[in-house]
Amino acid sequence: MFETYYPKRFCKEFVAAKGDSLQLTMIMAVVMGLKPAMDDWVPAQRFDAYQKACRKYGLFVETDAVFQITPENNIPLNTVGRQQLSTTKAFGSLYKKGQKKGAVHVFLSRSKDHLRQAFANGWYPLIIKNRVVDRPLADTFRYGQCLGYPACCIRFFQSHNNWYRFSYLHEAYLNTASKKGSFLCNPFNKDLAYSYIYHMPCSYRCPKTARWASRVKDLITSEEPEFARSIDFHLKRPYLVFYEQKYYAFDGVLKDRRLFYKKAFFSGGVKDNNLYERQLETGDCLFIEGKDIVILKKGRIVERIKPSEKGFAPETPFIVDFS
């Protein structure tokens, strides 16, 4: 369901260059001048083609570091700051032309000034010479402004972006007055191309996020109407969320806090986090009891999922409906 999308015309060069459609909507938004800047990761062996696509669409490019993603057990125990790494665990190095390994972290903008600001504030933790190099906290919030995120969402991020203490997505759900989401504020497919936003909203009905996403939708509709229809199809459905890298979309409906469904689709991005698809497929209905996911088939309980109590990120399951 969440396969690579290939545009008919507009920005198709980026998909060809990268080999995927990740962040395609954000690239389109930058090209159309709606988003001031963004960052992206490009396989090193494809970087020349990616730069060529940027030149065609009038984008300025600045290269940051090359990320060499590594399993946690490959990180030496004496690495200074090792405990600060969260989801992205990577060794960093400078990009050299002709390099074949790793992913080049790049910044894009139509404006040299916006590019300069994004590059100055867009840090990610990296292991360099046996030490984790992390960003100053102030730069984290300035970077949200560089990317064009709403001020209310930046403030909420300031308060709740602590993986050890909060499930950010659940906090946004608690901040959603009606507990009914707007599909324009659905962030759950942001790493799979099918989303109009790339930031974590302060609520799933954030008015400023919805207005911005609506403009992105209108511009994409004007250039690639089939893509806009496909994005809407992926967004307008119920989602079962565990935490930021583990959630499922459903072909189903939410009624009286019970989710009746035909099919579940893992959309969390990291395949290793797809722990529950087999169990979900045994049923046709589910509800949340405490923190447990109770799965039924024809009215009878067939499975019970108990979210992991281990790891640094708390799992607080909830269902949010964007249909």
Residue 56 forms part of a structural domain? no
**pLDDT greater at residue 279 or residue 75:** 279
Angle between helices 207-223 and 24-31 (to 10 degrees): 80
Residue 248 forms part of a structural domain? yes
CA dist 4 and 230 (Å) reads 11
H-type helices in 57-206, by residue range? Answer: 112-121, 137-146, 151-160, 168-174
Confidence of residue 139 (pLDDT cuts 50, 70, 90): low
Residue 94 forms part of a structural domain? no
Residue 315 forms part of a structural domain? yes
CA dist 146 and 124 (Å) reads 15
For residue 300, what are the contacts with CB-CB under 8 A and spacing of at least 6?
none
| Average pLDDT for 171-180 | 93
Confidence of residue 224 (pLDDT cuts 50, 70, 90): very high
CA dist 250 and 241 (Å) reads 11
CA dist 158 and 167 (Å) reads 13
| pLDDT score for 34 | 95
Q: How many CB atoms lie within 10 A of CB 304?
A: 12
Backbone φ and ψ of 77, nearest 5°: -65, -25
Burial status of residue 27 (CB atoms within 10 A of its CB: 0-12, 13-18, 19 or more):
buried
Residue 235 and residue 192 in contact, taking contact as beta carbons nearer than 8 Å: no
Residue 133 and residue 84 in contact, taking contact as beta carbons nearer than 8 Å: no
Q: Mean pLDDT over all residues of the chain?
A: 88
Q: How many CB atoms lie within 10 A of CB 99?
A: 14
Residue 241 and residue 249 in contact, taking contact as beta carbons nearer than 8 Å: no
Look at residue 79 and tell me whether its pLDDT is greater than 60.
no
* Residue 257, domain extent: 239-321
3-state DSSP assignment of residue 106 = strand
Question: Considering its fold, how many domains does the chain have in total?
Answer: 1
CA dist 85 and 272 (Å) reads 18
Residue 297 and residue 308 in contact, taking contact as beta carbons nearer than 8 Å: no
Cβ density class 224-250: b for 16+ within 10 Å, e for less: beebbeebeebbebbbbbbbbebbbbb
The sign of the torsion formed by the CA atoms of 312, 140, 129, 96 equals positive
Residue 282 forms part of a structural domain? yes
Residue 62 forms part of a structural domain? no
H-type helices in the chain, by residue range? Answer: 12-18, 24-31, 47-56, 112-121, 137-146, 151-160, 168-174, 207-223, 225-235, 277-281
Query: Using one digit for the tens of pLDDT, what is the confidence trace for 19-78?
Result: 999 999 999 999 999 999 999 999 999 999 999 999 999 999 999 887 666 556 656 655
Residue 51 forms part of a structural domain? no
| pLDDT score for 241 | 95
Residue 280 forms part of a structural domain? yes
| Average pLDDT for 257-272 | 89
